[in-house]
Amino acid sequence: MTQTPEQPDREHRIDFEIVVDAYDETERAMGWYYYLEKTLEMPFTAQCRIKRSTSPLKVGQTVQVIGMAEEDECMSEIFVRIACEESELAVPLDQLECQSPDEASCQAVADWHYWLARGYAY
Protein backbone atom coordinates (compact mmCIF):
# COMPACT_ATOMS: atom_id res chain seq x y z
CA MET A 1 0.00 0.00 0.00
CA THR A 2 1.42 3.37 -1.03
CA GLN A 3 1.32 5.92 1.75
CA THR A 4 0.13 9.41 0.96
CA PRO A 5 3.11 11.79 1.09
CA GLU A 6 3.13 14.36 3.85
CA GLN A 7 1.85 17.80 2.82
CA PRO A 8 3.29 20.39 5.23
CA ASP A 9 0.66 23.10 4.55
CA ARG A 10 -2.18 20.64 5.11
CA GLU A 11 -0.48 19.20 8.22
CA HIS A 12 -0.14 22.71 9.63
CA ARG A 13 -3.82 23.50 8.99
CA ILE A 14 -4.89 20.22 10.61
CA ASP A 15 -2.64 20.72 13.64
CA PHE A 16 -3.38 24.42 14.22
CA GLU A 17 -6.95 24.87 12.97
CA ILE A 18 -8.73 21.53 13.18
CA VAL A 19 -7.40 19.39 16.03
CA VAL A 20 -5.64 22.17 17.95
CA ASP A 21 -5.84 21.53 21.71
CA ALA A 22 -7.54 18.16 21.11
CA TYR A 23 -6.25 15.66 23.66
CA ASP A 24 -8.44 12.63 23.01
CA GLU A 25 -10.62 10.97 20.40
CA THR A 26 -13.75 12.90 21.32
CA GLU A 27 -12.00 16.27 21.08
CA ARG A 28 -10.44 15.36 17.72
CA ALA A 29 -13.83 14.21 16.40
CA MET A 30 -15.44 17.46 17.51
CA GLY A 31 -12.57 19.50 16.05
CA TRP A 32 -13.16 17.89 12.65
CA TYR A 33 -16.93 18.21 12.95
CA TYR A 34 -16.88 21.93 13.72
CA TYR A 35 -14.17 22.69 11.15
CA LEU A 36 -16.23 21.04 8.43
CA GLU A 37 -19.51 22.53 9.65
CA LYS A 38 -17.95 26.01 9.57
CA THR A 39 -16.04 25.61 6.30
CA LEU A 40 -18.35 23.66 3.98
CA GLU A 41 -20.54 26.01 1.97
CA MET A 42 -23.75 24.03 1.64
CA PRO A 43 -25.48 22.91 -0.40
CA PHE A 44 -22.81 21.71 -2.80
CA THR A 45 -22.49 19.07 -5.47
CA ALA A 46 -20.27 16.05 -4.93
CA GLN A 47 -19.47 12.90 -6.82
CA CYS A 48 -19.11 9.43 -5.34
CA ARG A 49 -15.43 8.46 -5.60
CA ILE A 50 -15.36 5.07 -3.87
CA LYS A 51 -17.77 2.27 -3.16
CA ARG A 52 -18.67 1.62 0.49
CA SER A 53 -20.63 -1.41 1.64
CA THR A 54 -22.53 0.81 4.09
CA SER A 55 -23.73 3.25 1.43
CA PRO A 56 -26.03 2.88 -1.58
CA LEU A 57 -24.01 5.35 -3.68
CA LYS A 58 -22.36 4.15 -6.87
CA VAL A 59 -18.96 5.37 -8.08
CA GLY A 60 -19.50 8.34 -10.39
CA GLN A 61 -22.94 9.17 -8.99
CA THR A 62 -23.54 12.88 -8.43
CA VAL A 63 -25.28 14.01 -5.23
CA GLN A 64 -26.26 17.24 -3.50
CA VAL A 65 -24.70 17.63 -0.03
CA ILE A 66 -27.16 19.57 2.09
CA GLY A 67 -25.63 19.49 5.58
CA MET A 68 -23.64 17.73 8.22
CA ALA A 69 -25.05 14.66 9.96
CA GLU A 70 -25.75 15.05 13.68
CA GLU A 71 -22.69 15.37 15.93
CA ASP A 72 -23.23 12.02 17.63
CA GLU A 73 -23.26 10.28 14.24
CA CYS A 74 -19.79 11.69 13.48
CA MET A 75 -17.90 10.35 16.48
CA SER A 76 -16.14 7.58 14.51
CA GLU A 77 -16.12 9.16 11.04
CA ILE A 78 -17.64 12.16 9.33
CA PHE A 79 -21.04 11.79 7.70
CA VAL A 80 -22.86 14.39 5.62
CA ARG A 81 -26.52 14.54 4.65
CA ILE A 82 -27.41 14.28 0.98
CA ALA A 83 -30.70 14.83 -0.81
CA CYS A 84 -32.12 11.40 -1.63
CA GLU A 85 -35.35 11.38 -3.64
CA GLU A 86 -37.78 13.19 -1.32
CA SER A 87 -35.77 12.54 1.82
CA GLU A 88 -32.24 12.81 3.23
CA LEU A 89 -29.54 10.21 3.77
CA ALA A 90 -26.29 10.38 5.75
CA VAL A 91 -23.25 9.08 3.85
CA PRO A 92 -19.53 9.03 4.70
CA LEU A 93 -17.73 12.18 3.58
CA ASP A 94 -14.80 9.95 2.63
CA GLN A 95 -16.93 8.58 -0.17
CA LEU A 96 -17.46 11.97 -1.82
CA GLU A 97 -15.32 14.17 -4.07
CA CYS A 98 -16.23 17.85 -3.78
CA GLN A 99 -17.49 19.43 -7.02
CA SER A 100 -18.24 22.86 -5.54
CA PRO A 101 -16.92 26.08 -7.05
CA ASP A 102 -16.17 27.11 -3.44
CA GLU A 103 -12.45 26.40 -2.98
CA ALA A 104 -12.65 26.37 0.82
CA SER A 105 -15.28 23.62 0.74
CA CYS A 106 -13.23 21.46 -1.60
CA GLN A 107 -10.10 22.06 0.47
CA ALA A 108 -11.94 21.00 3.63
CA VAL A 109 -13.14 17.77 1.99
CA ALA A 110 -9.61 17.14 0.70
CA ASP A 111 -8.27 17.73 4.23
CA TRP A 112 -10.54 14.96 5.51
CA HIS A 113 -9.48 12.62 2.68
CA TYR A 114 -5.82 13.38 3.46
CA TRP A 115 -6.30 12.72 7.19
CA LEU A 116 -7.74 9.30 6.42
CA ALA A 117 -5.20 8.49 3.70
CA ARG A 118 -2.35 9.22 6.11
CA GLY A 119 -3.84 6.68 8.51
CA TYR A 120 -4.68 9.20 11.21
CA ALA A 121 -7.57 8.48 13.54
CA TYR A 122 -9.56 10.34 16.12
**Residue 87, strand partner residues:** 84
- Whether residue 44 is contained in a domain is answered as yes
Q: Is the pLDDT of residue 86 over 90?
A: no
- Whether residue 78 is contained in a domain is answered as yes
- Whether residue 104 is contained in a domain is answered as yes
**What pLDDT score was predicted for residue 2?**
55
Q: Is the pLDDT of residue 100 over 80?
A: yes
> Which ranges of the chain would DSSP assign to H, the alpha helix?
8-13, 25-39, 103-117
How far, rounded to the nearest angstrom, does the alpha carbon of residue 97 sit from its chain's CA centroid?
Answer: 9
Quick check: 108 and 39 in contact, CB under 8 A?
Answer: yes
**What pLDDT score was predicted for residue 102?**
95
pTM value surpassing 0.95: no
How much is the mean pLDDT over the chain? Answer: 94
Q: Which domain holds residue 69?
A: 8-117
- Whether residue 122 is contained in a domain is answered as no
pLDDT one-digit tens code per residue, 12-40: 999 999 999 999 999 999 999 999 999 99
The count of domains in the chain is: 1
Q: How far apart are CA 106 and CA 40, in angstroms?
A: 8
CATH of the domain at 63: 2.30.30.530
- Whether residue 2 is contained in a domain is answered as no
**What pLDDT score was predicted for residue 3?**
83
Choose between 120 and 44: higher pLDDT. 44
| Region of poorest pLDDT, from 2-6, 67-71, 92-96 | 2-6
119: left (phi over 0), alpha (psi -120 to 50) or beta: left
3-state secondary structure of 9: helix
